[in-house]
């Protein structure tokens, strides 16, 4: 897990987690689709991804984004923004931008 905390004392944070339950990549996320509060497939920098969570806190700055980096590896970005940060309530936008940066760094900045 890697966690970035905003330096504005807002308690806002972005966490990147390797989800051990998703050993079959995004296939495991898709298998849980019916039990989730929201499920929105997308693409991040050419990689398949899904905005999905068991509860929907997007209007309150909370968002989960699952990015399939390989057929067996999913990185989950969990964003939790508080009212006092300028990014509030755009948690999903922050998740997408962070995922793009993560992918660029994993590729070696190419």
* Measured CA angle at 20 (ends 92, 102), to 5 deg: 40
Q: What pTM does this model have?
A: 0.93
Chunked into runs of 10 residues, the chain (110 residues) has average pLDDT values of 87 92 92 97 98 97 97 96 94 98 84
C-beta of residue 8 within 8 angstroms of C-beta of residue 56: no
Q: How many helices and strands in the chain, by DSSP H and E?
A: 2, 6
pLDDT at 108: 83
Range list of H helices, the chain: 26-31, 91-106
C-beta of residue 53 within 8 angstroms of C-beta of residue 60: no
- The domain segmentation of the chain, as residue ranges, is 2-106
């Amino acid at each position: 897990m890697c966690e970035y905390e905003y330096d504005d004392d807002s308690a806002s944070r972005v966490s990147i987690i390797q989800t051990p339950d998703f050993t079959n990549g995004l296939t495991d996320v898709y298998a849980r689709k019916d039990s989730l509060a929201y499920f929105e497939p997308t693409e991040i920098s050419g990689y398949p991804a899904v905005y999905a969570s068991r509860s929907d806190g997007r209007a309150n700055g909370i968002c989960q984004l699952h990015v399939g980096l390989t057929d067996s590896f999913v990185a989950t970005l969990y964003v939790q923004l508080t009212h006092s940060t300028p990014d509030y309530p755009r948690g999903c936008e922050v998740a997408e931008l962070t995922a793009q940066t993560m992918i660029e760094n994993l590729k070696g900045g190419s």
